[in-house]
Structure 1
Amino acid sequence: NKKFSKIKACDFIKEVLVKKIGTKHLIIGYNHRFGRGGEGDYSTIKQCTESLDFMVEQIQGFQTEEGTISSSSIREALLKGRIEDANNWLGYYYSISGTIIKGRQIGRLMGFPTANIKPDYQYKLIPGNGIYAVEVKLESTTYPGMMSIGSNPTVNEDPGKRFIEVNILNFDGNIYGRSISVIFRKRLRDEIKFENTSQLAEQIKLDRQQVLQLLA
């Protein structure tokens, strides 16, 4: 709120971090700022806590050919579907989890049944539209899979509606209502609007071959 936003940096450290929360060791990013008007930084924390039982540590930025990597650059990469960049910068494979819900079953009619996913967390960032090679975790078993994120333009006339669905390879079973985790390995291609579902099915066969080659 407005009152909280006016707290001075030193007051925030002493009254909130130390007295209220009981912080003993604080780790901050290389460009972190806080307090009224963003006046607080690493030097401010050091000065304000000299007489307190408090340790502060500053983490330096991760450098690449593109510059310093930040949480903002990782989010941008995910939103643009640059999953390999995001994975590299994160240091692990990005993933989402959710519950399998009933969809339109168009994929099943084409020979490629998909599990439609309702994400567990409302604010979880979903990568940009496209087709991805993924690993699918169902309980203790991991399967290769093809994930489609987007509007499914060949079979859907509403471009504003977004679907998150995965075709689980080497699997057959009723999994509605079950929990699922999807680990993103590689972006295969953009969404394409084909003239008919036969052309779409042929492309999905090619996508499947790529996934099996990558994750076999």
Structure 2
Amino acid sequence: MKVHYSIDTYKNIKNPVITVGTFDGVHIGHQTIIKRINKIAENCQGESVLLTFDPHPRKVILNDNSSLKLINTIDEKINLLEKYGLDHLVIHPFTKEFSRISPTEYVRDLLVNQLNAHHLVIGYDHQFGRNREGNLDLLNELSPLYGFKIDEISAQEINAIKISSTKIRNAIYDGDIQKTNNYLGHRFTLSGTVREGEKIGRTIGFPTANIDISDFDKIKPSEGVYAVKVNANNSTYNGMMNIGTRPTLNKKENITSYEVHIFNFNQNIYNQKITVEFIDRIREEKKFDDINALKLQLIDDQKKSIALLS
């Protein structure tokens, strides 16, 4: 898959079959659309293309920088889309100026003149251009003029996608990882850079990698202990992760930390980026009477994690 951060690199694409959307989560509904554009591209000897936007349009139009949390970072989305066989991902900058172009300009200048649309796969309720004035009726009106075909994604399919996205976010907030992964069709992940911590865990036989998750927009699961897979140094390891304020150890109980204990692991990964794949939630976070009680609980958590990961 080729990623285009600029239209300038998008050249000589044969019979582009294009769909448009944020595709946050790249969940099973999105995967169905990707399969469709891949199949159409195969039949017309073309190439499949997803046009997406960064930042999320809602953050620009509504100036919503706090409430909207995304299932994927851009890097996570790129990795997933490549996995599902997309040929081209176009990440178009979404700005105030871009949001003000007319629907006809959007079709003529972007979809036709720049992306050279041969076939457009689009939702029945797709809206675009200034004040979201453009719709499927306009696309049907313009398609003979500009020579592209339209394949409509039905209301039933679009509604299923919207419901899935909402259910996935709610499941993540609830810490329901099994439901999350079932709706996604793949494992939910968190990525971040390993930073030095207080090193208390190693004194009781449970050293942890403290992860700095710098992406403010990334959705986070609820506090608790999780069985996980950890991708580090180009290898995958089993582990368990704690998300929370560490009430037994931490005096600053309003600060959430993300710590993963990697089983049978003794490497220096400070300042390296790692990715954590969530398998299941073991328990909620709780405060113990002392550090020995915490250690006994961690031993039990590890046994449960190993059982889930085996």
Unaligned runs of 5+ in 1: none
Question: Which whole-Å deviations, capped at 9, do the CAs of 1:131-185 have from their partners, x for residues lacking one?
Answer: 1110112233221110111211221122331111100012223222233221111
Cα 1:180–1:52, aligned 2, differ >3 Å: closer, same or farther?
Answer: same
Question: What residue number does 1:154 align with?
Answer: 248
CA distance in 1, matches of 2:220, 2:170: 11
Among 213, 217, 226, which residue is 1:119 paired with? Answer: 213
Indicate conservation of the 8 Å contact 1:69/1:89, yes or no: no
Unaligned runs of 5+ in 2: 1-94
TM-score, length of structure 1 as denominator length? 0.83
* Residues 166-181 of structure 1 mapped to structure 2, 5 A cutoff: 166-181=260-275
CA distance in 1, matches of 2:125, 2:285: 37
* Residues 26-175 of structure 1 mapped to structure 2, 5 A cutoff: 26-29=120-123, 31-59=125-153, 60-61=157-158, 63=160, 69-119=163-213, 121-175=215-269
Q: When you count strand as a share of all residues, which structure comes out higher?
A: 1
TM-aligned CA deviation for residue 26 of structure 1: 3.7
Cα 1:25–1:144, aligned 2, differ >3 Å: closer, same or farther?
Answer: same
Cα 1:48–1:86, aligned 2, differ >3 Å: closer, same or farther?
Answer: farther
Question: Which whole-Å deviations, capped at 9, do the CAs of 1:100-141 have from their partners, x for residues lacking one?
Answer: 211111211222110011236453333222211101122332
CA distance in 1, matches of 2:195, 2:140: 51
Cα 1:7–1:83, aligned 2, differ >3 Å: closer, same or farther?
Answer: same
State the AA in 2 paired with 1:207: D
Cα 1:41–1:83, aligned 2, differ >3 Å: closer, same or farther?
Answer: farther
- Report SS of the residue matched to 1:124: coil
CA distance in 2, matches of 1:173, 1:75: 34
Quick check: 46-55 or 144-153, which moved more? 46-55
- Report SS of the residue matched to 1:117: strand
Q: When you count helix as a share of all residues, which structure comes out higher?
A: 2
Cα 1:52–1:192, aligned 2, differ >3 Å: closer, same or farther?
Answer: same
1:183 aligns with 2:277: yes
Cα 1:104–1:57, aligned 2, differ >3 Å: closer, same or farther?
Answer: farther
Cα 1:100–1:45, aligned 2, differ >3 Å: closer, same or farther?
Answer: same
- Identity score, percent: 39
State the AA in 1 paired with 2:177: I
- Report SS of the residue matched to 1:51: helix
Indicate conservation of the 8 Å contact 1:61/1:70, yes or no: no
CA distance in 1, matches of 2:215, 2:142: 37
- Report SS of the residue matched to 1:85: helix
* CA-based RMSD: 2.6
State the AA in 2 paired with 1:14: R
Quick check: 34-43 or 171-180, which moved more? 34-43
CA distance in 2, matches of 1:72, 1:29: 18
TM-aligned CA deviation for residue 24 of structure 1: 3.8
CA distance in 1, matches of 2:271, 2:102: 49
Cα 1:160–1:6, aligned 2, differ >3 Å: closer, same or farther?
Answer: same
Quick check: 54-63 or 41-50, which moved more? 54-63
TM-aligned CA deviation for residue 38 of structure 1: 2.8
- Report SS of the residue matched to 1:16: helix
CA distance in 2, matches of 1:107, 1:101: 14
Cα 1:204–1:58, aligned 2, differ >3 Å: closer, same or farther?
Answer: farther
- Report SS of the residue matched to 1:213: helix
Cα 1:38–1:181, aligned 2, differ >3 Å: closer, same or farther?
Answer: same
CA distance in 2, matches of 1:29, 1:167: 44
Question: Which whole-Å deviations, capped at 9, do the CAs of 1:174-199 have from their partners, x for residues lacking one?
Answer: 22223322111111121112222222
TM-score, length of structure 2 as denominator length? 0.61
